[in-house]
Amino acid sequence: MMSVMSESSFTGVSPDVQGHGQSPETSRQYWTESADTGALRKVPLPSPGPGELLIETLHSGISRGTESLVHRGEVPANITEIMQAPFQLGELPFPVSHGYLNVGVVRQGSEGLIGQTVFTLAGHREHVVVPKAAAHVLPEGCPPQRALLAGIGEVGLNGLWEGPVMVGDRVAVVGGGLIGLTTALLASTMALQRLQVVEIDAERRGFIESLGLDAVTPEDAGLDNDVVLHSSASSAGLATALRLAGDDAVVVEQSWYGTGDQQIPLGADFHARRLRIAATQVGQVPGPRRMRRTRGQRLATALAMLDSRFDLLISGHSPLAELPAVMQDVASGAPWTREQILHVIDHPLAAHHAFG
């Protein structure tokens, strides 16, 4: 399913791209229709209201963990309101148009923003409408695809604040997936005594080293950490995180398990060593900063922190037309998806930017 759009695949959706002088009348949206079933819907082109922007999407990104749970229908019924995406359409569990990594070009709304490339927490839709305050103009020199990682960077930043991770700390990140690597790259900008990414897969450890990070096996990881950030979404990973935490240390749990049950080894030295497990959820800014940072300010900070290393986390591309099949593969763990970190969905406008 991994592919890159060609010039001939551009169907055209915006008047200034096509040069036809006519606005598009319809737009495509990706919806999870039922458990394990996704489809593209053709809908009328949305219109922005007062204070809103119409954005034509260049790229959207698949946040593998969250979107797999949504695709499989594994969002617990009692937290569907809490776990909804900022600009989702429909209601969890389904039918729903979820997702929260979107970069596009402003087409209507504030005159000062028309033509600007922006990141929003919107999903896999050719056109999105969001409030002006929810659109973040890309920093100068930031490629559109890199900016997709702003939403993941926000998760990583939340985890670092939740610890909190401080200068001179010994820090372990357990799990070298999208969340773990993004968190580790952000943490690497701090003056830490030690930063290790704990990963069981040898090939992934080699990739992590290429990012300039220290990758180790669970057996070789340093002990006595001040903060351990866990994102492997597995019981074994959480057990490793607890083992690596020093006395009185905190494990920040960044994984979301959905309806799955996990076994946590609390009967060993968890109480004796006074360990803490802190939940972090991106829907809220952590308590220590909640009175001084809005969610929008947190996202803007994450976007500004993305450097060229983050480009290496983009591992594959597929055109929007293939998204239903791609999402099924991602959610079912098809072999080709296991090496993916951030899989990018290219929308028709992307072809114009690539070849125009």
Do 199 and 174 belong together in one domain? yes
Q: Where are the alpha helices (DSSP H) in the chain?
A: 15-18, 64-72, 144-147, 150-162, 178-187, 202-210, 235-244, 287-290, 295-304, 323-332, 348-355
CA atoms within 13 A on the CB side of 232: 23
| pLDDT score of 296 | 94
pTM: 0.90
Does the structure show a pLDDT above 70 at 4?
A: no
Region 126-144: mean pLDDT is 97
Statement to judge: residues 204 and 319 lie in one domain: no
Q: What is the CATH number of the domain that holds 344?
A: 3.90.180.10
Confidence of residue 254 (pLDDT cuts 50, 70, 90): very high
Classify burial at 220, counting beta carbons within 10 Å of its beta carbon; exposed 0-12, middle 13-18, buried 19 or more: exposed
Q: Count of residues for the chain?
A: 356
Interatomic CA distance for residues 26 and 118, integer angstroms: 22
Calpha distance 43→253 (Å, rounded): 39
Instruction: Report the domain count for the chain.
Output: 2
**pLDDT value for 15:** 35
Of 148, 157, 152, nearest in space to 252 by CA? 157
Is 53 domain-assigned?
Answer: yes
- Specify whether the CB–CB gap between 22 and 15 falls below 8 A: yes
Q: Which of 253, 287, 321 is the last residue of a domain?
A: 287
CATH of the domain at 239: 3.40.50.720
In a domain, 313, yes or no: yes
CA dihedral for 65, 70, 76, 80, sign (positive or negative): positive
**Domain-located, residue 161:** yes
- In this predicted model, what pLDDT tens digit does every residue of 283-328 receive, in sequence order? 889 987 999 999 999 999 999 999 999 999 999 999 999 999 999 9
What are the tens digits of pLDDT across the range 38-85?
999 999 999 999 999 999 999 999 999 999 999 999 999 998 988 899
Do 117 and 134 share a domain, yes or no?
yes
> What would the two tokens of residue 212 be?
């300039």
Residue 99 counted as domain residue: yes
CB of 334 closer than 8 Å to CB of 36: no
Q: CA-CA-CA-CA torsion for 206, 208, 212, 213, nearest 10 degrees?
A: -120
Q: What is the pLDDT of residues 94-117, one digit of tens each?
A: 999 999 999 999 999 988 999 999
Would 250 be classed as within a structural domain? yes
Averaged pLDDT for residues 182-194: 98
Q: Give the residue-averaged pLDDT of 177-184.
A: 97
Same domain, 168 and 130: no
Residues 163 and 254 in one domain: yes
Strand segments (E) across 202-324: 214-216, 225-230, 245-253, 276-279, 314-319
The whole-angstrom separation of Cα 158 and Cα 288 is 11
Overall average pLDDT of the 233-246 stretch: 96
- 100 and 190 in a single domain? The answer is no
Residue ending a domain, choose from 258, 287, 316: 287
Q: Does residue 131 sit in the same domain as residue 177?
A: no
Amino acid letter, residue 174? V
- Choose one of 287, 316, 339: the last residue of a domain: 287
Does residue 293 sit within a domain?
Answer: no
Residue 164 maps to a domain? yes
Q: Are residues 11 and 144 in the same domain?
A: yes
Listed as own residue / partner, the contacts of 235-238 with beta carbons closer than 8 Å and 24 or more positions apart are: 235/262, 235/263, 235/264, 237/174, 237/175, 238/174, 238/262, 238/264
Is residue 163 included in any domain, yes or no? yes
Q: What is the pLDDT of residue 352?
A: 74
Statement to judge: residues 243 and 325 lie in one domain = no
Question: Could you give the 3-state DSSP secondary structure of residue 349?
Answer: helix
* Predicted pLDDT at 353: 67
Answer yes or no: is pLDDT of 10 > 70.
no
Pairing of strands 170-174, 127-131: unpaired
Range of the domain at 139: 7-149+306-355
Based on the fold, state whether residues 162 and 46 are members of the same structural domain: no
Query: 101 and 218 in one domain?
Result: no
> In sequence order, what are the beta bridge partners of 118?
104, 137
Does 177 lie in the same domain as 271? yes
Other CB atoms within 10 A of residue 202 CB: 9
